[in-house]
Structure formats: structure tokens, C-alpha cells
Structure 1
Amino acid sequence: MSSPVVAVHGIWNRRRAAPEAAAVALASKWSLSLAAGYRAAGLTTAPPSVAGTYYAHLLNDGAQGAVPDLDRLTPDEQRWAWSWIEALGAPDEAAQGPVTYPLRQGLDWVARRHRRSAEIVGRLMSAFLREVYVYMTRPGVRERCRDIVMEAIVGSGARIVVAHSLGSVVTYEALCANPGHDVDLLVTVGSPLALPGVVFEGLVPEPRDGRGARPAGVARWVNIADPGDLVAVPARLGDRFPVDRHDEAHLGAVDFHTLDGYLSCGLTAAAIAPYA
């Protein structure tokens, strides 16, 4: 019997259902995406089952519910937004911060540079910043999110974990906090773990000498990022973390930051198949 895969969601996954039902619904959807990834990779074996996780309800203070609005970001969130814009490569004249220019000027630069609509970029930025802010500034929420991920991994018996977006941060910290639990394969997709000024410096455990630790129980770590993914910045985690392999995916304009897009990618399936 193949090992199941635990998939950990990122931003924009708030559901009206109870947490247990939401996890099951997400797992069902992700199973279809992983099957598509197996086909894309030319694999003839059946894909492993997918066990879902769900923690978005813990971030529900406006972070994942209502339509996000850049104008409602807190001062701390605005500072994080400018750090993000600078990490995306904004030139000096576009990255002077909210004192000199309104935040939307930096957002417009990002939208033009990456050929996305300003509305989509704004929604992505505000949703991500709010969810990350809640996670990283509320110790009780942070601990419970990590517990949910570990409960899914341990309860399912999975030896493979695919963690997306903010979920890669939650999973990384959960595995670091449980060094006695072994995982054969960790696949981070669309990960912001190395995002300076927003995520990297606030990780637990704290990075040392500009490098993040490797979760002790992880045997192999693969990172996959679309170069157009605005959350996976910088895309190559190997510059900051001891990953074993980095792959560059090309998901297209629609799925550039969705877990379904990454699971449907043949690169993700190819990484998973030898361990399933």
C-alpha cells in the first residue's frame, strides 16, 4: 500500500464548513489535481491518496473572509508590504515606502513588472500579509496551526508532505518543533520561507548567520516555484535553506500561486512518485 500524502494549504482557503469537513473537501479536490500531475509526468502508477489539513479558520479575523483591501492594512502590514515589494526587485524610485509614495504605487509597479492586473496583485498581497501577520504575531494561533499540521501527518501515517504558500511556513515550523518525527519527503511549493522583512527573520527556530535550519526529521527536501509566483520570493530556497533540490515550474497566468496548480504540475508528481 502506498504512503499517503499530506497536503497543507496556503492563503485563500477559508471555508464555511466545519474544519474537519473542510479538510476532507480540500483533500478530495487536491487528489484530482495530483492525478493530473501524474498524467502530466507520464507516470502510469496510481497516485497516492491525499490527506488534507485545514487551519484557515484560526486566521479568521478578516484575514481570510472578506475581500481584502490594501487601504485597511495596519502600519506593520504596510511595512511588510514594502519589504515584499523591494524583494520583488522594485527600483529605488518605486520602493521609497509609504512616507514618500502611497503603497499602491509600489503595487502598480509589481503589476506592470509581472504582467498581472493590479486588482489581482492587490488581493494577493493584502490576503497574504494579513494571514501571515495573524500567524506570526499570535503565539496561540501559531501553535495551534502547527499542531493541526502535525496531527494530520501523524494521524495519517504519511511519509510525504506537500506544503504550499503560508502552509510551507506552518509545516516547516511544525517539523522543526518535532525533530523526533521522520518524514521521507518534504515538498515546498510557492513558498515564502525566505521572504525578507516579512517571514524569514521571524521564523522559529530563528535563522542563524542568514541561514535557516533544516527540520531534523526530513530525509529529503524538494522546493518547487513558478518564477512568476509573487509569493515565492526569492524562489530559490537553497540560498537560505539546506534544500536538496530546487525545480522551476511554469504554471501559467491563472495558477501561478495555487496548490492545485502545483499539484497538477509534473514536477511535483515526479518528486513524490519514488516515495509513494
Structure 2
Amino acid sequence: MTRVVLVHGIAQQLKGPETITEAWLPSLNDGLVFSGSDTLPRQDVSVAFYGDLFRRPGHRGLGEPPLDASDVEPGLEHELLLAWWQAAADAEAPVPGPDTPARLRTPHVVQRALNALSHSAFFAGLAEGAMIGSARQVRRYFTEPEVRRAAGERLTRAVTGETTVIIAHSLGSVVAYETLCAHPHWQDLTLITLGSPLAVRGLVFNRLRPAPTGDTARWPVPVKRWINLADRGDAVALIKELAPSFGTRVHDLTVNNGAHAHDVRPYLTARETGLVLAEALG
């Protein structure tokens, strides 16, 4: 009996639905405990997993060819990296911003962005290729129709007649929003978005389907309640409040995730998330 469906975000291509469940469910239950509620059994939760759509096929060489600044494609990939750079610099004093004078050895703006992001809490410890790969997954979702369609189909298959809550993180909130809009016959669902980039103009908002009308996006018909949670230091959730773009029915909440602002686990353990989930589950 699937009461809660989880939709993951970027950089999950080497995992699977069981791995995601194993990582998410304890944090989800911690949030419920902190809110004074009962925990969820494993059978009540399923994952709409689409990360494998971004997994590279095997080949005869050793390892994967590393990505570097020269591999960043113009347009969305380039713009995303620069936007993350600016957001990380705004939130974290140690991260040099785009206005910081460049050293001669790193004059390329993308390379400067990658160097700066490597000092941020969100991207700390990630190789340049992983950062580029994260931006590439967002670009591929919006520009490759087969990827977009397949991701939505994964969520469609996960939702059952017993489903009451969809919890979506990062890029997963885009998958959830578009899939909910495409299924107006679904009813009485609560949508919980975590670290969502949905309201980021130019990069995400204007690329949504159905297309927004002016400054306002369509409300997903099956959703009776939408709660959006964001950490102020989350570089992916560049716009923290969704209500101005999706309607005043969205309830925006701020949480504190500590040093790992975009990590899904502190989002799930937050008492605010537990309270919302417990109310939705009755």
C-alpha cells in the first residue's frame, strides 16, 4: 500500500529505488518522531526512481572520460553553473563571488565557477565532473523529450489509489509538478517540495509544461495542499518562495539544514516536514 511516494533529485544515477528508500525512510521517520507522530512502515512508501535515465552505458575503456570546463555546453548548463555560483557566494562567506577578480591561471568564467563551487558546502568534495554532470541532468531533462517523458512515467506508475502524499526533492519537484498537471483525474494529494528550483525564472520556471501564463504557473489540479520547504543557503533552490509564482495556496516554510543546505536528509528530519506529513496522513 503506497501512501507516500518519494521523488529524488539530481545526481542519483548510480543508485536505485531500494537504495533511495534505505537512505530516505529513516530520515522521514525521524521527522515524524520529532513532530510527535507515528513512523511509517516500509510498505507504505515507494520511490519514483528515474536516475538510471542519466546513467552512462558501459564501454571498453577504464572509467568514464572526465568532464571539465571545456565540456560545459552553452545555454542552460552554463547558466545553471553561474547561478549556483552566485547563490553559493551570497550564502557562504568563504565562497568567492563572480565579482571577485580572477587569477590569471583561471580566467575562464566556467572554470572560475567550478573552482568557487568546490569551496561551497553543497558541492564540497565533488569533482568538477560531478558538478557539470548535475547541471547536465537538468539540461537533459528539459531538452530531451524522451528523458522528460520517461521520468514522468516512473512517477505515474508509482502513484496508486492509496497514495496521499508526494514528497519531491530538487529536480524531482519539477518531475512531480509536471506529472501532477498531466493527471487532473488524480484527487486529494498533498505535495511536499524540498529544495525546489521550480520558481527560478529563465532556467526552470519558463521551461515548465504546461507553460506558465505570464508570471503565474498553473495550479496542479490533483493537489489539495502544497507545502514548500527551503533552506536559505540552498544554492539549488535559488528562489525560496513558490507562492508568488504558483499561487497563494502554496505554503512556503523555511528550515535550517546546517552546512548541507540542499541535502534531502536534513530536509526530511526537520520537524516542519514531519508535522506537514503527519497532518497529510491523518
Distance, in Å, in 2 between the alignment partners of 1:169 and 1:210 is 17
The residue that corresponds to 1:32 in the other structure is: 26
Q: CA, structure 1 residues 70+222, in 2 after alignment: closer, same or farther (shift >3 Å)?
A: farther
Q: Which of 140, 145, 150 lines up with 2:146 in the alignment?
A: 140
Partner of 1:249: 255
Say if 2:29 is the partner of 1:51.
no
- Report deviation, 1:86: 5.4
Instruction: Name the SS for the 2:159 alignment partner.
Output: helix
Q: Which has the larger radius of gyration?
A: 2
The answer as to whether partners of 1:221 and 1:245 remain within 8 angstroms in 2 is yes
What is the TM-score of this pair, normalised by structure 1? 0.82
* Native 8 Å contact 2:33 2:39 kept in 1: no
- Deviation for aligned residue 1:207: 1.1
Q: What is the aligned counterpart of 1:161 among 166, 174, 182? A: 166
Q: CA deviation at 1:193?
A: 0.7
Q: Name 1:150's counterpart in structure 2.
A: 156
Distance 1:213 1:102, change over 3 A: same
Which residue does 1:103 correspond to in 2? 110
Q: How big is each residue's C-alpha offset from its partner over 1:189-218, in whole Å with a ceiling of 9 and x where there is no partner? A: 010111222211111111111121110110
Judging changes above 3 Å, is the alpha-carbon distance between structure 1 residues 110 and 59 closer, same or farther for their aligned structure 2 residues? closer
- Following superposition, the deviation at residue 220 of structure 1 comes to 0.3
Note the residue ranges of structure 2 that are not aligned, 5 or more in a row. Answer: 58-62, 91-96, 102-106
Point out where structure 1 has 5 or more consecutive residues left out of the alignment: 17-21
Report deviation, 1:25.
3.1
* Change beyond 3 A, Cα 1:140–1:153: same
- TM-score computed with the length of structure 2 as normaliser: 0.80
Distance (whole Å) between structure 2 residues aligned to residue 130 and residue 83 of structure 1? 14
Between Structure 1 and Structure 2, how many residues are aligned? 261
* Coordinate RMSD, CA, aligned: 3.0
- Partners of 1:159 and 1:184 within 8 A in 2: yes
1:117/1:207 CA distance change after superposition, 3 Å: closer
Q: Note the C-alpha offset of 1:108.
A: 5.2
Residue 237 of structure 1 and its aligned partner are, at CA, apart by 1.2
Which of these residues, 206, 211, 214, is aligned with residue 211 of structure 2? Answer: 206
- Give yes or no for the alignment of 1:184 onto 2:177: no
- Note if contact 2:14-2:55 (Cα within 8 Å) is conserved in structure 1: no
Q: How far off its partner does 1:102 sit?
A: 1.6
User: CA distance change for structure 1 residues 197 and 107 in 2, over 3 Å: closer, same or farther?
Assistant: farther
Deviation larger for 183-192 or 76-85: 76-85
- 1:229 & 1:121 partners in 2: Cα distance? 19
Pairwise CA distance, 1:87: 6.4
Structure 1 position 274, deviation (Å): 1.1
- C-alpha distance in structure 1 between counterparts of 2:122 and 2:220, whole Å: 35
Write the mapping of 1:220-259 to structure 2, written as runs, cut at 5 A: 220-242=225-247, 243-254=249-260, 256-259=261-264
